[in-house]
Structure 1
């Protein structure tokens, strides 16, 4: 199953000021999420972002704030975005069934969100090189569990090129420079 821009939502999970710096590779996550958010904006893919208990963990990290939707991120207490009514409302508003997920922590909020969204009838894809946990072994366990559940794990470039679908377009010319 291919990811299609016109059928996708991008869900950025909990890439926050006090949480991101303690991940196993925070720059990889921030770079990957930034690339996805810029591509989504250019290709008119709705971007939805969550913040786990922002009063304690802080807002979305500064590097990504400019790419947040005008309505901002949705605060949550549930680990799974699928259990937060405000997030589900945003995901169902456009009637898009594909959800590309990235963020932190891979083995907690990203994993539970992907599993929960699949249960609710969405087609989730988890971007491994834009997601992380504090410990690499937790990331590895998350990727294995997702695969066992039939949820595809993908990379930033896989998402970008599947959303683009063809070379030579103005969008391709603009976005290909982001990955080179």
Structure 2
């Protein structure tokens, strides 16, 4: 990732589980954005960290994300937790194996609880944090803009999946750019849908 605008990128997928599907505002849009980010992570060789919240009660990570299954995306860490923050001891241990600080891009739920506490912990530990406005949500949609405003104030960058992907690439001349363009085209309509439903001011 040398000479790119974002150094040491890492994707954090927070608690995208089956039991949340009917409860979270526009949950399918969050899943679609996460699928796009997973595709980009494979192209750009970006490590993926994922968590579940109380898996025994709230279910496994949604199967369409294809995490840690044959032919899917291998995660650096895919941990169950009772903490609201993703930064369990196991995840912290996995992070410690990478060059620090990381540029952490977060998708998942809920914006005002687990996403917020994950972002605050990462910021406290000296990492750069990006929150994707088209990749996070909560049960009550009104919580989302309040959480994003707080996280901006704490030093996180609130952006969108497409903006982050282009910034991560940084140069149309690099080898992977054509593959990233194909991802952008493939998810074009889903990206529009996510922006229109999750990014209303």
Greater than 3 Å deviation, 4+ residue runs: none
Count of aligned pairs between the two proteins? 177
Residue 30 of structure 1 pairs with residue 38 of structure 2: no
Task: Flag the 1:96–1:42 CA change in 2: closer, same or farther, 3 A.
Answer: farther
TM-score when normalising by structure 1 = 0.91
Deviates more, 1:136-145 or 1:89-98: 89-98
Q: CA deviation at 1:37?
A: 1.1
- Partner SS for 1:18: helix
Q: Which residue among 63, 85, 106 is the counterpart of 2:89?
A: 85
The CA distance in 2 between the partners of 1:10 and 1:110, in whole Å, is 13
Q: CA deviation at 1:130?
A: 0.7
Aligned residues: CA RMSD: 1.7
Task: Flag the 1:71–1:40 CA change in 2: closer, same or farther, 3 A.
Answer: closer
The CA distance in 1 between the partners of 2:73 and 2:54, in whole Å, is 17
The CA distance in 2 between the partners of 1:143 and 1:100, in whole Å, is 14
- Structure 2: state its 5+ residue gaps: 186-201
Q: CA deviation at 1:170?
A: 3.8
Residue of structure 1 equivalent to 2:166:
161
Residue 94 of structure 1 pairs with residue 94 of structure 2: no
| Kept after mapping to 2: 8 A contact 1:9/1:96 | no
Residue of structure 1 equivalent to 2:130:
125
Task: Flag the 1:137–1:171 CA change in 2: closer, same or farther, 3 A.
Answer: same
Q: Whose Rg is larger?
A: 2
| Kept after mapping to 1: 8 A contact 2:36/2:183 | yes
Q: CA deviation at 1:172?
A: 1.5
- Partner SS for 1:23: coil
Q: CA deviation at 1:93?
A: 1.3
- Structure 1: state its 5+ residue gaps: none
TM-score when normalising by structure 2 = 0.82
Q: Which has the higher helix share?
A: 1
